[in-house]
Amino acid sequence: MKLKFIILFLTITNLVYSQKIKNITLGNWHAELALNDRLVLPFNLKISNLKKFEIAVINAAEEIQLTKIRFQSDSIHAYFPEMDGKLVFKVDEFGKYLRGYWLDNRKHKNIKIPLSAYFSNDPRFSFPASNFITQPFVIDGRWEVKFSPDQKDESNALGIFKTNGNTISGTFQTETGDYRFLEGNISGGNFALSSFDGAQAYVFTGEIKGDSINGIFYSGSKYRTTWTALRNENASLRNPDSLSYLISKNQPFVFNHAKQLNGKPFLFSSANYQNKVVIIQIMGTWCPNCLDETKVLKELYNDLHTSGLEIISVCYEADIEQKKQLKKLKDFKKRSKIPYTILYGGLANKELASSDFGMLNQVMSFPTSIFIGKDGDVWSIHTGFNGPATGKAYTNFKNKIRYEIEMKLDLLR
């Protein structure tokens, strides 16, 4: 009887929601997150295939399909793949407006950011009519960027931008990762870019003056800093393979601070992986750059595991409670179809990771990946990860690391 009641309840519920969503207009929607009282982050939604009710978040060339859709009470819950977050909203009776919130449950509990959207092809950002002038401002190309210039936390980056009419896209490439797919609009010498992927919420504004830019960067609801840029097609960053290194090459590579997903200790020694090529990824499931790298590692593992490739991901997570994190990691492994070993390292903290991997001078970034050859020797330590938004940098890294692994596996002669 209980099972019959549940089936009947779900059937009635689905019929009710079918009625509620049948009027939703299919196509492109202009969505906005109210990050705080003064800052709005615009992004694009695409709603299609009403029968299956498909929803996607669009950032330039990136389309993030919200694969799990749930109907609860009078709201629609659309979950981000891999991320511990979702969009929750109600649609008006005419099917052209929605209101709700973005729930980010990765680092904190139940952080809700107000969400609204309407059916429209409006540009992400609108500028006053007075900004439209005939003189073209060229931003396309490569820029040498400083975040928080002349401050204690100043850092370097590369700005890579491209325009199409008054639409602008691109990203910022740093020594620890990239800012993913940014999209926005440019008018006169002013421009604005944004990106929202269920994990990160970024807004960049800027003003072009000749070959320089002055701008402001906003991340989430609280962080704000300035940034500057100079046009420089030859701008570069430090080699990501040089930032973390072995303190002593005479010591065997061993770590024993991580836990298996069943809670039991895990001991890694390169001596136990003789004649194997091993990648040890230091990461966190809250980290978009880590997830971009994970997709590349999955592809490598699926192609090269039978030839001797092993991968171990050591995850440093946001919640201090170990039981919760072990469950989250089990869910992540299943949801993301990770075929290799996932371990729990501890709290998301670079100092803790540096202590656990004390054979390194530092763990500067999540992710950091350590490459170990058949002989047990570390041949490379790669800091950060620049994903598909960086274009050529991403493609070059994928090709380089595959070639190196195949060489170490003696597959290339």
* pLDDT tens column, 174-192: 999 999 999 999 998 899 9
Cα 291 to chain centroid distance, Å, stands at 6
Element (H, E) at 295: helix 288-304
* pLDDT tens column, 18-33: 555 667 889 999 999 9
Residue pointed to by tokens 């694009």: 44
DSSP bridge partners of 380: 371
Give the lowest-confidence range in 86-95, 298-307, 379-388.
86-95
Phi-psi category of residue 354: left, alpha or beta, with phi > 0 → left and psi -120 to 50 → alpha: alpha
Token reading at 224: 């704000």
Phi and psi at residue 170, in whole multiples of 5°? Answer: 155, -160
Token reading at 293: 């790298």
How high is the mean pLDDT of the chain?
90
Rounded Cα–Cα distance for residues 347 and 324 (Å): 12
Token reading at 141: 């190309």
More confident: 4 or 229: 229
Q: Which domains does the chain have, with CATH numbers?
A: 2-119 (2.40.128.120), 129-231 (2.40.128.120), 254-408 (3.40.30.10)
* pLDDT tens column, 316-337: 998 778 888 899 899 999 989 9
Q: Rounded mean pLDDT of 119-148?
A: 81
DSSP bridge partners of 46: 28, 56
Q: Rounded mean pLDDT of 197-210?
A: 94
Percent of the chain clearing pLDDT 70 (strictly above): 91
Phi and psi at residue 281, in whole multiples of 5°? Answer: -100, 120
Cα 238 to chain centroid distance, Å, stands at 22
Q: Rounded mean pLDDT of 261-272?
A: 91
Confidence tier at 2 by pLDDT (50, 70, 90): low
Residue 12 has pLDDT above 50, yes or no: no
Confidence tier at 10 by pLDDT (50, 70, 90): very low
Report yes or no: 137 and 208 within 8 Å, Cβ to Cβ: yes
Confidence tier at 6 by pLDDT (50, 70, 90): very low
Residue 108 has pLDDT above 60, yes or no: no
Residue 407 has pLDDT above 50, yes or no: yes
Rounded Cα–Cα distance for residues 249 and 252 (Å): 8
DSSP bridge partners of 370: 280, 381
Confidence tier at 229 by pLDDT (50, 70, 90): very high
Q: Residue 164, CB half-sphere, CA atoms under 13 Å: how many?
A: 6
Model pLDDT, residue 111:
82
Cβ count within 10 A of residue 228: 17
Q: Which residues contact 104 (CB under 8 A, 6 or more apart)?
A: 84, 85, 111, 113, 198, 199
* pLDDT tens column, 25-82: 899 999 999 999 999 999 999 998 767 789 999 999 999 999 789 988 889 999 998 7
Rounded Cα–Cα distance for residues 161 and 169 (Å): 6
Residue 8 has pLDDT above 80, yes or no: no
Give the lowest-confidence range in 116-130, 150-164, 336-350.
116-130
Report yes or no: 223 and 362 within 8 Å, Cβ to Cβ: no
Token reading at 302: 């699926």
Report yes or no: 183 and 169 within 8 Å, Cβ to Cβ: yes
Phi-psi category of residue 13: left, alpha or beta, with phi > 0 → left and psi -120 to 50 → alpha: alpha
Model pLDDT, residue 20:
56
Rounded Cα–Cα distance for residues 36 and 21 (Å): 29
Element (H, E) at 91: strand 85-91
